Amino acid sequence: MTDLVVEADGGSRGNPGPAGWGAVVRDAATGALLAERAGYLGVASNNVAEYSGLVAGLEAARAIDPEARVEVRMDSKLVVEQMSGRWQIKHADMKRLAAVAAAVLPADRVTYTWVPRAQNGAADALANEAMSSRGGVVRDHDVPAPGDVTGPGDAVQPAGGTDVTRASHRARRPSGAAMRFDDEEPLTVVLVRHGETPMTTSKAYSGSSVPGPPLTSTGRIQAAQAADLAFRIGRDLWPDVPHPSELVASPMVRTQETAGAVGRRLGLPVHVDEAFAECDFGAWEGLVADEIEERWPGDLKRWHVDAAFPAPGGESIEDVGARVRAGLERLLVGGVDRTVVVVCHSVVIRAAIGVVLGAPSSVWASVRVGPASVSIVRLWADGEREVAVVGMPTDL
């Protein structure tokens, strides 16, 4: 069993303001540096950033040795006392992160020690790097052979070690990014479809003219999986984009329930935006395809192919596209170099992808978007657009 030391810290320039965290893992016996982690959170508080650094440090220690004994050293008296069980945790975001931290390793293998700020310089420097660059760092170092150990605080990087630094997402973009020759950063929009409902399984048309239905038990599990995936964005998943700092959802029950799970995981409130409500299917609401065909022969096929053709008493695909385009533009006005999660619906996500690609509306219905799947679009201030992910399952 390995003895490891985790040094963790976090900060916020504004409290709340642009926030970042940092963590290092050392060999307890030699002080050799084994791993470095840092990440940008967007707008958050100092305490949330400190807890985020703690979680990342514990996860890095677990990756080195799942059976390790770990001493956590932090200059945050609050986090040390709360995680040691001596102080209560009242703030919802910190309570959630504390639970995540406590679940990484068994409690009997983790101890917490307060150290002066001067003794936590490595983690503090990484947190400040993340805040300045708005990027992330993932560096792993080989365990040095006897005689090769340097003093505590010195980085050890022998030949054969891995260095997968993401010093800044300004320098590296996700695969498939548009060709650019500048450092302009986009708005990243993560489009999450709601989890399964009874009407998802029955294949009935479920629009925005009624608030329901709610999620099924499977849908609630899918919502939790979507929340876990959203939490990884800007960390170990797409580390070159900012961690989500805003959460938007359609007003429907199914999207509010899904967004609630995502919000609890991210520590973010849910903002409702009608622009991302599902298509209003009018008289087709609650009906399956055979029922629609029986009452309105040929109209359902026409609705899918002729995107300007509305459902009776409802909307066309182009109607949805117009409000989705307006919703995306409002998000862009709110600023670039950030990530916004939008929990919405299948027709809405297809429209968003079509709008971003500039594809004819007649082909938008061809995009496959499963329950609780994730799609990602990116918007630059100068009008450039890209689609980075389409319909990725969240149960990975």
Closest CA to 322 of 308, 332, 341: 308
For the record, the structure tokens of 363 come out as 């082909």
Which residues on neighbouring strands pair with residue 138, listed in sequence order?
Answer: 37
CA distances from 280 to 216, 359, 392 (A): 22, 22, 25
The SS3 of residue 64 is helix
The residue annotated as part of the active site, out of 7, 129, 196, 278, is 278
326 closest CA partner among 257, 277, 255? 277
The span from the CA of 150 to the CA of 282, in Å, is 71
Active site residue 194: yes
What is the total residue count of the chain? 396
Phi, psi (degrees; rounded to nearest 5) at 161: -70, 165
Cβ atoms within 10 Å, residue 117: 11
- Strands ordered across the beta sheet of 385-392: 270-272, 246-249, 338-344, 187-193, 374-379, 385-392
269: CB partners within 8 A, 6+ apart? 247, 263
Which of 194, 243, 257, 315 is catalytic? The answer is: 194
Let me know if 384 is a catalytic residue: no
8-state DSSP, 309: P
Active site residues: 194, 278
